[in-house]
Every structure is written in C-alpha cells, then in structure tokens.
Amino acid sequence: MAANIASEVADEQFCEAAIGSKVPQNGLLFKELLQTPKFQVTVVEDSDTVELCKALKNIVALAVGFCHSFCHGDSTKAAVILLGFIEMIAFARTFCKGRVSMATFLESCGAADVVSTCYGGRERLLRNWRRRC
C-alpha cells in the first residue's frame, strides 16, 4: 500500500510503498522482490492498519473532491484532509482488533497516500476535466 500513482511507477519516477505483514519474514521477502532504487519499500507489522488506511483514504479523497466541486480553496481542502486523517486514526483504534501504531499512519500507506490520492492520479484528471471554479 503506498503513496504512489500507477502511471508514475510505470514511468520509473521515485515512489514508495509500505507492506503490511504480520509475519516480518514474509514482508521482508516481498521487499527484496519489489524494491528498486526508484521504488522504496518499508515493512510494517501493523497490517490491519495498513489495509484500513488504503480503504479509508478514498473516503477522504471523496470529501476533498466535494470541496473542489463547491469551489473551495486549498486551505479548506487541507483542513478536510487533516480532519479525515484524524478520523482514520479514530476508526482504526475503534475497529482494529490488534495494536494500532501511530507510526503506521506516518508511513507511505498513511498520510502520504491520503495526500497523493487527494491531489494526484484520477483526481487531478477529473479536476482538470471539469474546471468551473
């Protein structure tokens, strides 16, 4: 799970990913297989939180898209991202059965992925496709 855009990975731009694995040896094996000088991989044992981050960031991106549709500025979008990120942490603490590490939210699968999803990839294309603000 990562803060990257598929087309940028394909273009061999610098990207990073976090692999959530409850078995560290498995995560390290995937890291060895996938990591390149332009694709950095970290292994996180908090795999449930990694998975939740991947799902919940899309809800935050949807809210940021609504802000854009209503012609709100970047400050409003930043506030929505921050509040969404705080809600992601609260959700994980409430619904994860295991330990939820704050450090996981600071990995590529957390804050960085929220930002890249809200401002890059298809979101950017849609924003430019129908610019009315």
Catalytic residue among 38, 57, 77, 97: 57
**Residue 83 in contact with residue 24, Cβ under 8 Å?**
no
Beta bridge partners of 20: 44
77 is catalytic: no
Beta bridge partners of 15: 39
Residue 73, token pair as written in the block? 């500025």
Contacts 24+ apart (CB under 8 A), 32-40: 38/12, 38/13, 38/14, 39/9, 39/14, 39/15, 40/14, 40/15, 40/16
Query: Annotated catalytic sites, by residue?
Result: 57
